Amino acid sequence: MLLSLAIRDLVLIEALDLDFRAGLGVLTGETGAGKSILLDALGLAMGARADSGLVRQGAERALVIAGFDPGDHAGVAALLHDNDIAQEPGEPLLIRRQVRADGGSRAFVNDQPVSAALLRDLGAMLVEIHGQHDDRGLINPKGHRDLLDSFGRCDVAGVAAAWREWQAAERAFTAASEAIESAMRDRELLEHNLEELAAFGPQPGEEEELAGERAAMQKGERLSGDLAELFETFEGSKGALALLRGAARKLGRIAEEHPLLDQAMEALDRAMIEADDAEAKLRAASEALTYDAVRLDELERRLFDLRALARKHNVAGDLLPDLLKRMQADWAALESGGANVAELDRARHKAREAYVAAADALSAARAKAGIALDAAVMAELKPLKLDAARFRTLVEPLDEARWGASGKDHVEFLISTNPGSDFAPLMKIASGGELSRFILALKVALAEQGGAATMIFDEIDRGVGGAVASAIGERLARLARGTQLLVVTHSPQVAARGSQHLLIAKTSDGTVARTGVRTLDDAGRKEEIARMLSGAEITPEARAQADRLLEGV
Asked if the model's pLDDT at residue 551 lies above 90, the reply is no
Residue 422 pLDDT: 86
Q: pLDDT at position 39, please? A: 83
Say whether pLDDT at 82 is over 80.
Answer: yes
Answer whether 137's CB lies under 8 Å from 442's CB.
Answer: no
pLDDT of residue 135: 46
Task: Pick the range with the lowest mean pLDDT from 190-199, 285-294, 334-343.
Answer: 285-294
Total residues belonging to the chain: 553
Residue 133 has pLDDT above 60, yes or no: no
What pLDDT, on a 0 to 100 scale, did the predictor assign at position 289? 63
Q: What are phi and psi of 97, to 5 degrees?
A: -135, 130
Return the top range by mean pLDDT from 64-78, 278-292, 420-434.
64-78
Q: Are 515 and 505 in contact (CB under 8 A)?
A: yes
> Domain locations in the chain?
188-332
Indicate if the pLDDT at residue 535 is higher than 60. Answer: yes
Which is nearest to 395 in space by CA: 418, 421, 362?
Answer: 362
pLDDT digits (tens, 9 = 90+) for 487-504: 888 889 989 999 999 998
- DSSP alpha helix (H) spans, 382-421: none
Helix or strand holding residue 284 (H, E)? helix 259-288
Percent of the chain surpassing pLDDT 70: 89
User: What residue type is assigned to position 553 of the chain?
Assistant: V
Per-residue model confidence (pLDDT) at position 406: 94
The average pLDDT across 364-370 equals 95
Does pLDDT of 477 surpass 80? yes
pLDDT digits (tens, 9 = 90+) for 198-243: 999 999 988 888 888 788 777 766 666 566 666 667 665 667 777 7
Taken in order 370, 458, 427, 418, the sign of the CA dihedral is positive
What's the pLDDT score for residue 170? 95
Q: Residue 180 and residue 173: Cα distance in Å, rounded? A: 11
| Mean pLDDT calculated for residue range 106-117 | 92
Local confidence band at 337 (pLDDT 50, 70, 90 cut-offs): low
pLDDT value at 369 more than 90: yes
**pLDDT for the residue 322:** 92
Q: Which of 459, 549, 484, 499 is nearest to 31 (CA)?
A: 459
Using the predicted structure, report yes or no on whether residue 402 has a pLDDT greater than 50. Answer: yes
Neighbours of 239 (CB within 10 A): 16
State the helix-helix crossing angle for 540-551 and 522-534, rounded to 10 degrees.
120
Banded model confidence at residue 48, pLDDT cuts 50, 70, 90: confident
Query: pTM to 2 decimals?
Result: 0.61
Span 249-265, average pLDDT: 81
Distance CA 164, CA 149 (A): 19
The pLDDT value recorded for residue 132 is 52
Task: Provide the 10 A C-beta neighbour count for residue 137.
Answer: 20
85-100 pLDDT, tens per residue?
988 888 899 999 999 9
Beta bridge partner(s), residue 23: 484
Q: What is the DSSP string of 422-439?
A: PPEEHHHH--HHHHHHHH
Q: For residue 91, what is the DSSP state?
A: S
Average pLDDT taken over every residue of the chain: 84
